[in-house]
């Protein structure tokens, strides 16, 4: 690790030495999964290509060349991953400016690729109804029904406890999320303030939750050991279910059911899309999803806006339509 004296005096350091120091500084200040993402991008892609460059000589062109070398098809990284690398380097080198080790942030002069955000798979009312009708008795019944009817994220669903639900099963408090780390599964607080939210539960979800609770009680009684974490969705013994395992089960459910390919995350998109199409105000939808802003919601679901525009025009015409002439 770089000695504090070297940092204070601004001695000539390599990019590798600085990035290693920055990672040590960052660890413990961000979530475990966030740190592991930073560390992986720097260790695998930044240090091998930039590590030997003297810190003071690092230029935007050095960084731009890294993006060109790593981006598909010449490289192996998607545009989204290269953009993430850019964001991490921008943050790391911005800290060097704040520490007085660089006058300017060279990452700000580099231009990352713009990844194309794939359109969410449209789950119309007919497909949503088909999914719901085939869920009972499957290993994905409860989590899929919750995702479709609330728009909650996969990790939020898997961290939900019965104590987070009110007695009438009409309200859920989203307080935690479950995510895999290099050390195993971990619970943590949601990443943003907006993600910590109360979500009203529709009446149609009640039978799915009641079946899940009855199934858990039966499994608990039949097992000599039970990990009592009060989870709504568990792996079979009361313990947390790995998010990747849930996604695998979901894909198998689709294959067995003959349903079109829909990612588990698309159930969240389906909830938002169906609510918008039914005339629910975007602000309500954004609050249910826990987005950072209503602008994020409108950006992601821009494909729904044309239909909403048509409905708005129709409503305006109805408001000012001339009254029928008396006969």
The residues near 187 (Cβ < 8 Å, ≥ 6 apart) are 159, 176, 177, 178, 240
Higher pLDDT, 308 or 224: 224
User: In the predicted model, is pLDDT for residue 141 greater than 80?
Assistant: yes
Residue-level pLDDT at 3: 45
Residue-level pLDDT at 59: 96
Residue-level pLDDT at 115: 77
Q: What is the pLDDT of residues 238-256, one digit of tens each?
A: 999 999 999 999 999 999 9
Residue-level pLDDT at 117: 67
Write the DSSP symbol of residue 136. Answer: T
The answer to whether position 317 is within a domain reads no
Separation of alpha carbons 307 and 275, rounded Å: 12
| Residue 174 burial by Cβ neighbours in a 10 Å radius (0-12, 13-18, 19+) | buried
Per-residue pLDDT band for 2 (boundaries 50, 70, 90) equals very low
Residue 129's domain is classified under what CATH number? 1.10.443.10
The answer to whether position 28 is within a domain reads yes
The residues near 40 (Cβ < 8 Å, ≥ 6 apart) are none
Q: How many domains does the chain have?
A: 2
Residue-level pLDDT at 308: 63
Residue 58's domain is classified under what CATH number? 1.10.150.130
**Domain co-membership, 134 together with 235:** yes
User: In the predicted model, is pLDDT for residue 179 greater than 50?
Assistant: yes
Residue-level pLDDT at 120: 59
User: In the predicted model, is pLDDT for residue 16 greater than 90?
Assistant: yes
User: In the predicted model, is pLDDT for residue 309 greater than 80?
Assistant: no
The share of the chain scoring above pLDDT 70, in percent, equals 87
Region of poorest pLDDT, from 47-51, 179-183, 216-220, 227-231: 179-183
pLDDT average, residue stretch 103-131? 86
pLDDT average, residue stretch 286-310? 71
| Residue 92 burial by Cβ neighbours in a 10 Å radius (0-12, 13-18, 19+) | buried
The answer to whether position 321 is within a domain reads no
Q: Please, how many CA atoms are within 13 Å of residue 183, restricted to the half-sphere of its CB?
A: 6
**Domain co-membership, 92 together with 231:** no
User: In the predicted model, is pLDDT for residue 175 greater than 70?
Assistant: yes
Residue-level pLDDT at 163: 97
**Which of the listed residues 85, 109, 133 is the one where a domain comes to its end?**
109
**Domain co-membership, 190 together with 285:** yes
Separation of alpha carbons 17 and 105, rounded Å: 17
Instruction: State the average pLDDT for the chain.
Output: 88
**Domain co-membership, 17 together with 134:** no
Q: What is the pLDDT of residues 52-73, one digit of tens each?
A: 999 999 999 999 999 999 998 8
The secondary structure of 222-241 as a DSSP string is H-S------BSS-SSSSSPP
Residue-level pLDDT at 10: 46
The answer to whether position 316 is within a domain reads no
Domain span at 32: 4-109
Residue-level pLDDT at 8: 47
Does the N-terminal peptide bond of residue 73 adopt cis geometry, omega within 30 degrees of 0? yes
């Amino acid at each position: 690790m770089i000695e504090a004296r070297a940092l204070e005096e601004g001695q000539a350091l390599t990019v590798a030495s600085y990035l290693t120091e920055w990672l040590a500084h960052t660890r413990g200040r961000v979530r475990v999964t966030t740190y592991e993402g930073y560390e992986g991008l720097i260790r695998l892609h930044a240090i091998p290509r930039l590590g030997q460059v003297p810190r003071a000589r690092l230029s935007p062109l050095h960084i731009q060349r890294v993006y060109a070398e790593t981006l598909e098809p010449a490289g192996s990284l998607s545009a989204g991953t290269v953009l993430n690398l850019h964001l991490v380097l921008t943050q790391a080198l911005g800290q060097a400016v704040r520490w007085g080790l660089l006058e300017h942030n060279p990452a700000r002069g580099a231009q990352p690729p713009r990844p194309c955000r794939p359109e969410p798979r449209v789950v119309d009312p007919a497909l949503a109804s088909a999914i719901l009708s085939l869920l009972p008795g499957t290993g994905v019944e409860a989590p899929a029904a919750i995702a479709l009817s609330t728009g909650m994220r996969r990790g939020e669903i898997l961290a939900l406890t019965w104590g987070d639900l009110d007695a009438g099963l009409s309200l859920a408090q989203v307080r935690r999320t479950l995510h895999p780390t290099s050390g195993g599964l971990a619970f943590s607080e949601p990443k943003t303030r907006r993600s910590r939210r109360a979500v009203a539960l529709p009446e149609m979800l009640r039978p799915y939750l009641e079946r899940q609770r009855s199934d858990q009680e039966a499994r608990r009684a039949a097992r000599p050991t039970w990990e009592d974490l009060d989870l709504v969705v568990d792996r079979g013994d009361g313990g947390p279910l790995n998010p990747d395992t849930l996604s695998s089960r979901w894909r198998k459910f689709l294959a067995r059911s003959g349903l079109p390919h829909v990612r588990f995350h698309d159930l969240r998109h389906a909830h938002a899309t169906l609510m918008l199409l039914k005339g629910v105000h975007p602000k309500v939808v954004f609050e249910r999803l826990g987005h950072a802003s209503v602008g994020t919601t409108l950006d992601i679901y821009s494909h729904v806006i044309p239909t909403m525009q048509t409905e708005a025009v129709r409503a305006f015409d109805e408001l000012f339509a001339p009254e029928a002439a008396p006969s």
